[in-house]
Structure 1
Amino acid sequence: MTRQILIILSDAHTFSVYKVDGTVKQAETGFFLSELSKPLTHLLDSGYSVTFASPNGKEPNIDPLSESTMLAFLGQWWVKNRENKLIQEMRLENNLANPRPFASISDEELASFDGIFIPGGHAPLSDLGNNPELGRILWHFHNAGKPTAVICHGPYAFMSTKHAPNTPRFAYKGYNITSWSDQEEKLVETLKGGTVPKVESTLALEGAVMVTGAAQKAGAVTVDREVVSGSNPMAAEGLGKRLVEMLQEGEQVKGA
């Protein structure tokens, strides 16, 4: 039996930076390379098939910062090359170049997916948090208790559950969640010279219990019910491993 994972990406190639003078600057972004490729590697190596989806099916962009050999890969160019090669394979052999539009995935088809994964990069801030179709999709995985993995800015997509057609409320109230922290975002704001929407405080206002600290910043993941979450690229490896474990645990329960 085919084991299917839905991977959610943004159509956005920029995100908004709000300047002190009242103007809004668009900064280039996309998905963060290692935050997609590391969990994706664990999924593929464990025999899972993946389907990419985005709001309108546009080809996603790679966040340019995430391709920096020195900043993102600490000089490990061979790791960067390996991850870029995987993404290129997904463009050619899977549907990464033309993701499924959210609206094209019916409620009936959602039942065929075993889990869902949303990587980071600043792109989710632009078009995932208020998308009704994504809200509908996330409610399916939430109600079914299917493994749901999010990292960095990916948890911002949880805000979409407030815009879902039939259940417009935040699905993850009371959940322990780790995301890109407000403290980490302040470093980006310093570099960009303006303010950026915050993931951590936005989810906290909706009733999520935000788990942050030295361990989370160093790559520890947080698990609560069906959700596994991480703060930044350092969590990508552990997030991928834990997601696969949760999927396999679910399969064992079904087979019992």
Structure 2
Amino acid sequence: MAPKVLVVLTSAATNPSNGQETGWYLPEFAHPWDVLKTKVDFVVASPKGGVAPINKQSIELFATDPVSSEFFAKQKTLWEDTVKLSDILDRADDFDAIYYPGGHGPMFDLYSDPESISLIKKFALAKKPIGAVCHGPAAFLNVTLPSGEPLIASATVTGLSNEEEDALGATAAMPFSLEDELQRLSGGGFVKAAEKFGEKIVVSQVKGLGGALITGENPASGKAVGEALVEALGL
């Protein structure tokens, strides 16, 4: 049987501070899916279940990216009929890895979603690969280990940088700085690419437990995160 990967998408369609559209970001699901599609089975979940809102701007910006455009055209069932996270909680043992695409949406729901937090803890305790890209690592911020330490304590991590958030003109509309929180909770382990929006991924471990902790900085890092998940799964 092929390994199973649980993909968790945001249910946040709008930014509550200004009403602007948000959601998950197309290439950050499309590229890992493209790397993994022949090797694993996917189950896609979200806090509310049903349709997980895609950021429409990401469709336009990546219209000339063949992987993203083909994924959007042919794989809509993946995000238009997601499983509710609360229905997955008792099925964590069925999966071999968990992955969080970004988009600004996770900053408004997944960072504090109790079911998501519980799931990540289960994967960490089982030493299963945990991955996220761009704003996806926001889902890690409130996850603590049995020791009481943060999931990312002493880990090297990345995610969308402050410089990149500024370049998007989105800093003022965010509830917190992702870079600052990743830096604080990891104990100074945040790293980023040499240039804005350059590819950057980090494969670290959960302190005291092991198990791969894979983070990517931005949309350009999606493919590399997928490749790191392949390696972590031993495929």
TM score, norm. by length of structure 1 = 0.81
**Cα offset for 1:194?**
3.3
Give ranges in structure 2 of 5+ residues lacking alignment: 206-211
Q: Which consecutive segments of 4 or more residues in structure 1 shift more than 3 A? A: 77-80, 166-169, 192-195
Q: What amino acid does structure 2 have at the position aligned with 1:6? A: L
Q: What amino acid does structure 2 have at the position aligned with 1:87? A: Q
In the alignment, which residue of structure 2 is the partner of 1:63? Answer: 55
Q: Deviations over 1:95-150 (max 9, x none)?
A: x322221111234x211200011001000011001111111100111111111111
In the alignment, which residue of structure 1 is the partner of 2:12? Answer: 12
- What is the alpha-carbon distance in structure 2 between the residues aligned to residue 80 and residue 116 of structure 1? 21
Q: What amino acid does structure 2 have at the position aligned with 1:138? A: I
**Cα offset for 1:167?**
8.1
Instruction: Give the number of equivalent residue pairs.
Output: 227
Q: Percent identity?
A: 27
- What is the alpha-carbon distance in structure 2 between the residues aligned to residue 216 and residue 45 of structure 1? 32
In the alignment, which residue of structure 1 is the partner of 2:208? Answer: none
CA RMSD of aligned residues (A): 2.3
Contact persistence 2:24–2:103 (CA under 8 A)? yes
**Cα offset for 1:207?**
2.9
- What is the alpha-carbon distance in structure 1 between the residues aligned to residue 147 and residue 222 of structure 2? 31
**Cα offset for 1:86?**
3.6
Q: Is it true that 1:211 corresponds to 2:168 in the alignment?
A: no
**Cα offset for 1:241?**
1.2
- What is the alpha-carbon distance in structure 2 between the residues aligned to residue 79 and residue 49 of structure 1? 18
Give ranges in structure 1 of 5+ residues lacking alignment: 17-23, 250-256
Which of 181, 188, 194 is residue 172 of structure 2 equivalent to?
194
Q: Relative to structure 1, is the Cα distance of residues 114 and 72 closer, same or farther in structure 2, using a 3 angstrom cutoff?
A: same
In the alignment, which residue of structure 2 is the partner of 1:149? Answer: 131
**Cα offset for 1:221?**
1.1
Q: Relative to structure 1, is the Cα distance of residues 38 and 80 closer, same or farther in structure 2, using a 3 angstrom cutoff?
A: closer
Q: Deviations over 1:20-65 (max 9, x none)?
A: xxxx31210111101101101111122x111111112131111122
In the alignment, which residue of structure 2 is the partner of 1:45? Answer: 38
Q: Relative to structure 1, is the Cα distance of residues 160 and 99 closer, same or farther in structure 2, using a 3 angstrom cutoff?
A: farther
Q: Give matches, 1:1-256, under 5 Å.
A: 1-16=1-16, 24-46=17-39, 48-68=40-60, 71-72=61-62, 76=64, 78-88=66-76, 91=77, 94=78, 96-107=79-90, 109-162=91-144, 170-189=150-169, 194-196=172-174, 197-208=176-187, 209-214=189-194, 217-225=197-205, 226-248=212-234
Q: Deviations over 1:55-88 (max 9, x none)?
A: 12131111122112xx435xx2644431212432
Q: What amino acid does structure 1 have at the position aligned with 2:222? A: A
- What is the alpha-carbon distance in structure 1 between the residues aligned to residue 100 and residue 130 of structure 2? 8
**Cα offset for 1:183?**
1.1
Q: Relative to structure 1, is the Cα distance of residues 129 and 78 closer, same or farther in structure 2, using a 3 angstrom cutoff?
A: closer
Question: Whose helix fraction is larger, Structure 1's or Structure 2's?
Answer: 1
- What is the alpha-carbon distance in structure 2 between the residues aligned to residue 132 and residue 167 of structure 1? 19
Q: What amino acid does structure 2 have at the position aligned with 1:235? A: S
- What is the alpha-carbon distance in structure 2 between the residues aligned to residue 171 and residue 130 of structure 1? 14
Contact persistence 1:55–1:102 (CA under 8 A)? yes
Q: Relative to structure 1, is the Cα distance of residues 57 and 211 closer, same or farther in structure 2, using a 3 angstrom cutoff?
A: same
Partner secondary structure for residue 97 of structure 2: strand
TM score, norm. by length of structure 2 = 0.87
In the alignment, which residue of structure 2 is the partner of 1:19? Answer: none
